Amino acid sequence: QEEEQLLREEREEKRRRQERDRKFREEEQLLQDREGQLRRQERDRKFQEQLRRQERDRKFREEEQQLRQEEEQLRRQERDRKFREEEQQLRQERDRKFREEEQLLQEREEKLRRQERDRKFREEEQLLQEREEQLRRQERDRKFREEEQQLRRQEREQQLRQEERDRKFREEEQLRQEREEQLRRQERDRKFREEEQLLQEREEQLRRQEQRERKFREEEQQLRRQEQQRRRQERDRQYLAEEQFAWEKNRRQEQKLRQEEEQRRRQELERKFREEEQIRRQQEEEQRRRQVRERQSQEDKGHRQVLEPGTRQFAYVPVRSSPLYEYIQEQRSQYRP
C-alpha cells in the first residue's frame, strides 16, 4: 500500500508539474501575444502620428497663405477706403462751398432786387404823387366830365407805365441773370480747374505712396518669408525633440510594462507554486496522520487482545475522539522507539 501511495503521489506530482508547465506555456503565449499587440499598436500610433503631422503642416501652410491673402486684401481695402473718403471729402467740400456761394449770391441778388424795386417804386410813387397833385391843382376847376376823362387817361397811362416798368425790369433782370450766370460759370470753371489740379497732385501723391507701399510690402514679404523659414526650422527642431522625447517615454513605459508584467507573472507562478506546495504538504501531513492513526489502531487492537484473556483491568476504554485517548496516544508516541 505504501508503494501504491508513493506511485500515486509521484503520478500526482507529475500531473501537477505538467499542469504547471502547461500554465507557464499558456502565460508565455499570452505574454508574447500581448507584446505583439503592443508592437502593432505602436506601429499604428506612429503611422497615425505621421498622418497628423502631415495634416498639421498642410493646415499651417493653408492658414499662412490665407493670412497673407487676408492681409493683402485688408491693405487694398484700407487704401481704397481712404482714397474714397478723401475723394468724398473733396467733393463734399466743393459742393458745400458751391452751395454756400450760390446761397450768398442768391441772397445778395434778392436783396439788390428788393432794394432796386423799392427805390424805383418810391421814385415812381413820388413822381406820381407830384404829377397827380399838379393835375389835381390844374384840373380842380374843370368840370367833372373832364376830371373823369383825365382820370381814365391817367389810369391808362399808369397802366402803360407799369407795363413799361415791368418790361424794363424783366429785361434788366434777364441781363443781370445772364451776367451772374456767366460769372458763376467762370467761377465754377476756375474752381473745377483748381480741383482738377488738386486731384492730379493727389493722384501723383497716391502713386508715389503706392510705390513706397509696394516697396515696403516687398521688404515685408521678404522678412515674412525669412521669419516663416525660421519658424518652420524652429518647429521642425521642436517637433524632432518632441518625437524623440515621446519615443523615449513610450520606450520606458513599454519597458516598465514588460517588467511589471514579468514580475506579476513570476509572482503569480510563485504564488501558485506555494499554494501547490502547501496543498502537497497538507496532503502529506494528512496521509502521515492517517498512517499514524492506522498503526495506532492496529496497536490498540493488539493491546485489547492481550487484555481480554485475564481479568479486566480497566472499567472504561477511552474513545478515539476523546481527549483522554489523544493524551494516551501522545504519551505512547513519546516512548515509542
pLDDT tens digits, one per residue of 38-63: 888 888 888 888 888 888 888 888 88
**In this predicted structure, what is the pLDDT of residue 303?**
59
Residues of the chain with pLDDT under 70: 1, 302-337
**In this predicted structure, what is the pLDDT of residue 60?**
86
Q: Is the pTM of this model over 0.85?
A: no
Cβ neighbours for 176, distance < 8 A, ≥ 6 positions apart: 109
**What is the DSSP-derived secondary structure letter of residue 319?**
P
Q: Determine whether 207 is exposed, middle or buried from the number of CB atoms within 10 Å of its CB (0-12, 13-18, 19+).
A: exposed
Closest CA to 254 of 23, 88, 39, 56: 39
**In this predicted structure, what is the pLDDT of residue 205?**
86
